[in-house]
Amino acid sequence: MALFKMDIPHRAQHFLECGNEECERNCEFYCNTCHQRLCKQCKDEHLKRGKNQNHEVVLYLQRKRQLPVEKCKIHPTKDVDMLCEKCQVPVCSKCATQENHRGHIFTDLEKNYADKYAVFQEEISKIQEYFLPTSQDLQKEIKKDCSEIKHTMDNIRTSMKTEGESLKSLVDTVVSENMKQLDQIEQSLLEDLKTQDKTMDDYITYLNNLVKELHRCLSSTEPQKLMSEKKPKIRSIPETTKPVTPGFTAGQYSKSDVTKLLRKIHVPNTKAEKREIRPIESVYNTAMKPTHKQMKEDRKKSTEKSDKKQTMSLSASVTKVREFNVPGVDGVYHVSLDQSDRLWISDRHGNLVQTDLQGNVIQKIETSGEYEGYHTVTQDGDLIFTDKYKKVINRITQDNNITEFIKTGDWEPLSIHSSHINGDLLVGMVKDREAKVTRYNKTGKELQNIQRGNKGQRLYSVPHYITENINGDICTSDYYNGIVVVNKSGQHRFSYTGQKSEFYPYGICTDVLGHILVCDDNSNTVHLLDQDGQFLSLLLTRQQGVKFPCSVCVDDKNNLYLGQQDTNTLTVYKYIK
CATH number at residue 417: 2.120.10.30
C-alpha 112/C-alpha 254 separation (Å) is 80
- Please report the pLDDT score of residue 269 as a whole number: 67
Q: What values do phi and psi take at 219, rounded to 5?
A: -85, 0
C-alpha 442/C-alpha 2 separation (Å) is 32
> How far from the centroid of its chain's Cα atoms is residue 94's Cα?
57
Q: What string of H, E and C letters represents the secondary structure of 540-576? A: ECHHHCCCCEEEEEECCCCEEEEEECCCCEEEEEECC
- Please report the pLDDT score of residue 286 as a whole number: 40
- Please report the pLDDT score of residue 9 as a whole number: 37
Q: Quick check: is 136 in a domain? A: no
- Please report the pLDDT score of residue 282 as a whole number: 57
Tell me the pLDDT tens digit for each residue of 188-229.
999 999 999 999 999 999 999 988 888 888 887 777 777 777
Q: Quick check: is 356 in a domain? A: yes
Q: Quick check: is 212 in a domain? A: no
CA angle 147, 148, 153 (to 5 degrees): 100
- Please report the pLDDT score of residue 6 as a whole number: 33
Q: Quick check: is 16 in a domain? A: no
Q: Quick check: is 482 in a domain? A: yes
Q: Quick check: is 559 in a domain? A: yes
Q: Quick check: is 30 in a domain? A: no
- Please report the pLDDT score of residue 429 as a whole number: 96
Q: 486, 478 in Cβ contact below 8 A?
A: no
> How far from the centroid of its chain's Cα atoms is residue 38's Cα?
43
Q: Encode 408-417: b = buried (16+ Cβ within 10 Å), e = exposed.
A: beebbbbbbb
- Please report the pLDDT score of residue 418 as a whole number: 95
C-alpha 577/C-alpha 568 separation (Å) is 28
Q: 573, 321 in Cβ contact below 8 A?
A: yes
- For the chain, which residues score pLDDT lower than 70? 1-15, 263-264, 266-270, 281-317
Task: Please provide the distance, in angstroms rounded to a whole number, between the alpha carbons at the two ends of the chain.
Answer: 39
C-alpha 515/C-alpha 282 separation (Å) is 20
User: Which residue range is the domain that position 325 belongs to?
Assistant: 315-574
> For the chain, what is the domain count?
1
- Please report the pLDDT score of residue 437 as a whole number: 96
- Please report the pLDDT score of residue 564 as a whole number: 95
Q: 447, 437 in Cβ contact below 8 A?
A: no
C-alpha 38/C-alpha 47 separation (Å) is 11
Q: Quick check: is 306 in a domain? A: no
